[in-house]
Amino acid sequence: MRDSTTAQYRRASASGAYDYDHEIALASRTRQGSPGANIITPLRSTETDTAVLVNRGWVYAADAMTVDFARWKEPDTSDVTGYLLELTRGGRGAAFASGNPRIARHLDYDSLAKRFPYPIAPFMLVAQDRPATSRAEPAPRDSTPARLPAPLMDEGPHLGYAVQWFFFALIGLLGAVVAVRAERRGAFRRAIVRQKPPGA
Asked whether the beta carbons of 147 and 38 are under 8 A apart, the reply is: no
Residues 21 and 113 in one domain: yes
Task: Give the global pTM.
Answer: 0.71
Share of the chain above pLDDT 70, in %: 72
| CA 171 – CA 58 distance, rounded (Å) | 46
Give yes or no for residue 88 having a pLDDT over 80.
yes
Share of the chain above pLDDT 90, in %: 54
pLDDT of residue 62: 96
Residues 24 and 111 in one domain: yes
Asked whether the beta carbons of 76 and 147 are under 8 A apart, the reply is: no
Q: How many domains does the chain have?
A: 2
Quick check: is 141 in a domain?
A: no
Other C-beta atoms closer than 10 Å to the C-beta of 90 total: 9
Residues 116 and 164 in one domain: no
Residue 169 domain boundaries: 155-200
Residues 15 and 98 in one domain: yes
Give yes or no for residue 136 having a pLDDT over 60.
no
| CA 112 – CA 51 distance, rounded (Å) | 12
pLDDT of residue 183: 74
Q: For 5-55, how does the pLDDT look when each residue is reduced to its tens digit (9 = 90+)?
A: 467 899 999 999 999 999 999 999 999 999 999 999 999 999 999 999 999
- 3-state SS, one letter per residue, for the chain: CCCCCCCCCCEEEEEEEECHHHCEEEEEEEECCEEEEEEEEEEECCCCCCEEEEEEEEEECCCCCCCCHHHHCCCCEEEEEEEEEECECCCCCCCECCCCCCEECCCEHHHHHHHCCCCEEEEEEEECCCCCCCCCCCCCCCCCCECCCCCCCCCCHHHHHHHHHHHHHHHHHHHHHHHHHHHHHHHHHHHHHHHCCCCC
Quick check: is 134 in a domain?
A: no
- Backbone φ and ψ of 115, nearest 5°: -80, -30
Q: For 54-71, how does the pLDDT look when each residue is reduced to its tens digit (9 = 90+)?
A: 999 999 999 999 999 999
